[in-house]
Amino acid sequence: MREVKFLLLGACMFLLLGITQTVPAMECTQIVAGFVNPTHARATDDFLNLVDNAMVSTASTQADVDEFTVPVDVVISNLAVSDVTDPGTAGDTWDIYVLDDGVKTALTCEVANGETTCFNLSQHPFVLANSDLVVMIDSGEGDSDPAPSGNMRISFCIRPY
C-alpha cells in the first residue's frame, strides 16, 4: 500500500484535497480531477466538464458538456470530494456521480449535512473503450437548497483494465 495525495498543478487538473487516503499501489495510473462551484438550486444538476475543466449547469441534461472519452477499457475508482462548506440545513446533501455514457456508475458519494468531504474507495466500475465520462453534482435532497458551496474539488482514479 502507498499513500496518494492529490496535488494542484497547472490549470487545476490535479488538486489538493488536503486529505490523504491509502490506495493500492497499482490502483491509480491517472487522476481525473476538477474544481467547481455547484448550483445551489435543488431543481438543477451540475455537470463538470472533464475536458477543459469548465463547469456547465443544465436543468437535467449533460448535452452541453464535453465528456472525457476513454480510449481503452478502464476501471474507475477512488472518488474523492472536498468542499469548503457543508450543504447546510438538515437533510440537504450534494450527491456526486461519475456517469458512463450518461448512466450513473457505482462510483458515487454523498456530502451530507454537517460534512465537507465524501469518498468512495470500495467501488471499481468497469468502463468500456470509447465511453464518455462526466461528473454530475445533484443537489436534490433535503427541505431547502444546499448552502452556497464556493469551491468543490472532485477527483477519481482511472487505470487500464
Q: In whole angstroms, what is the distance from residue 32 CA to residue 131 CA?
A: 15
Q: Return the pLDDT at 88.
A: 73
Instruction: Report residue 93 as a C-alpha cell.
Output: 446533501
| pTM listed for this prediction | 0.75
* pLDDT tens sequence across 125-161: 999 999 999 888 887 666 556 666 667 889 999 999 8
Of 110 and 92, more confident: 110
Q: How far apart are the first and last CA of the chain?
A: 20
Is the pLDDT higher at 161 or at 58?
Answer: 161
Task: Please give the residue that has the higher pLDDT: either 18 or 146.
Answer: 146
Q: Which of the residue ranges 19-23, 90-94, 132-136 would you say has the lowest mean pLDDT?
A: 19-23
Residue ranges and CATH numbers for the domains of the chain are 12-21+29-58+65-160 (2.60.120)
What is d(CA 30, CA 146) in angstroms, rounded to the nearest whole number? 31
User: Do residues 32 and 68 make contact, with C-beta atoms less than 8 angstroms apart?
Assistant: yes
User: pLDDT-based confidence at 40, cuts 50/70/90?
Assistant: low
